[in-house]
């Protein structure tokens, strides 16, 4: 396959992935997603097209989006060349699917998925292609069996590409989704990889498909298990407080958000990851011994979740 054929093939897969995820979520939530197709004409900073799919005020999902985009530009922005400075300013093509779900019930964790491919064309050189993506889980009230299920699904998705990949991508996720100014992780992690080309083009595409295809099996059983757990204003208030951390990370540190904004992407689609309700408090800490405090002591720290079992809990 040539590069153009590869792009067509992965575009077709990403559109299929977006549709399959939205179909499953609509069936679970009961409320249809808005379908918002957009195009960027040649001549601006970016050209290309995309489809934004969004639901708000659903029964399960208070706000969630699943976006597809395929854009081309004449100069890679800083967020995309952090580890590839030689490609700064090169013409590029980027396509991917990005998803964030903020559930209504505080006992259902927020979840993020992204799979993407970049291709740059530096002057006088062959195209440079790389991949990025992963998925991660952000609970408000932690359950060990939920974290273990999510991580085991991630591990199974990566298993065909070698046993070394999961622990590496798991650690990468723990290190990436970390708020240095707070000194805490965003959630319980999952897997993350970026600027990744070590497997070659064909296996890079296969890895992208494996991660994308694993998403529903990783998150949906958790949502089904927790969505009817009773909650009150206390839990909703803590959920809003922790969502504030999500906002901080996405607006300050997330490379995908920064790439979209720096490259002149579609702002409404880029910021669909923001929760509908968030809160901040000055110098607040949860009371010791509460479920809210247990999130910090037991969950917001790196752990080998895939190895967890009730009989041998991880210290």
In this prediction, what percent of the chain has a pLDDT beyond 70? 92
pLDDT of residue 44: 64
Which CATH number does the domain housing residue 239 bear? 3.40.1500.10
Above pLDDT 90, what percent of the chain? Answer: 72
**Alpha-helical runs (H) found in the chain:** 3-29, 144-158, 165-176, 200-226, 233-252, 255-262, 267-270, 291-294
Residue 226 maps to a domain: yes
Is residue 256 in some structural domain?
Answer: yes
Tokens of 13: 């897969």
Could you tell me if residue 247 is inside a domain? yes
Characterize the bridge pairing of strands 178-179 and 128-138: unpaired
Vertex 199: Cα angle to 159 and 265 (nearest 5): 100
Residues designated catalytic = 112
pLDDT of residue 77: 64
Domain containing 197: what range? 3-307
Quick check: 150 and 222 in contact, CB under 8 A?
A: yes
CA 141 to CA 110: how far, in whole Å?
11
Assess if residue 315 is contained within a domain.
Answer: no
Does residue 283 lie within any of the structural domains? yes
How does pLDDT run across 113-172, given as a tens digit for each residue?
999 999 888 777 888 899 999 999 999 999 999 999 999 999 999 999 999 999 999 999
Asked if the model's pLDDT at residue 5 lies above 60, the reply is no
**Is residue 228 over pLDDT 50?**
yes
Q: Is residue 314 part of a domain?
A: no
Residue 312 lies in a domain: no
The residue among 51 and 271 whose pLDDT is bigger is: 51
Q: How many domains does the chain have?
A: 1
At 42 the pLDDT is 72
Q: Is residue 8, in this structure, part of any structural domain at all? A: yes
């Amino acid at each position: 396959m040539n590069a153009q054929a590869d792009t067509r093939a992965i575009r077709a897969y990403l559109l299929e992935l977006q549709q399959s995820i939205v179909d499953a979520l609509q069936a679970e939530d009961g409320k249809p997603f808005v379908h918002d197709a957009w195009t960027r004409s040649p001549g601006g900073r970016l050209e290309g097209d995309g489809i934004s799919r969004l639901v708000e005020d659903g029964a399960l999902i208070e706000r969630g989006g699943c976006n597809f985009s395929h854009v081309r530009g004449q100069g890679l922005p800083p967020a995309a060349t952090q580890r590839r400075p030689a490609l700064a300013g090169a013409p590029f093509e980027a396509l991917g699917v990005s998803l964030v779900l903020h559930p209504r019930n505080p006992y259902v964790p927020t979840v993020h998925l992204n799979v993407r491919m970049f291709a740059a064309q530096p002057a006088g050189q062959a195209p440079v292609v790389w991949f990025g993506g992963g998925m991660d889980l952000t609970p408000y009230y932690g359950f060990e069996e939920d974290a273990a299920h999510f991580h085991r699904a991630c591990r199974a998705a990566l298993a065909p590409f070698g046993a070394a990949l999961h622990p590496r991508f798991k650690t990468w996720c723990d290190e990436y989704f970390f708020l240095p100014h707070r000194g805490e992780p965003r959630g319980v992690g999952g897997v993350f990889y970026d600027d990744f080309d070590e497997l070659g083009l064909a296996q890079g595409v296969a890895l992208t498909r494996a991660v994308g295809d694993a998403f529903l099996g990783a998150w949906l059983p958790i949502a089904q298990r927790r969505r009817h757990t009773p909650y009150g204003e206390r839990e909703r208030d803590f959920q809003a407080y922790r969502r504030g951390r999500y906002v901080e990370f996405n607006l300050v540190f997330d490379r995908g958000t920064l790439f979209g904004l720096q490259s002149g992407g579609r702002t409404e689609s880029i910021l669909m990851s923001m929760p509908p309700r968030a809160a901040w408090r000055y110098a607040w800490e949860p009371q010791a011994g509460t479920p809210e405090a247990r999130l910090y002591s037991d969950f917001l720290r790196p752990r080998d979740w895939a190895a967890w079992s009730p009989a041998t809990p991880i210290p």
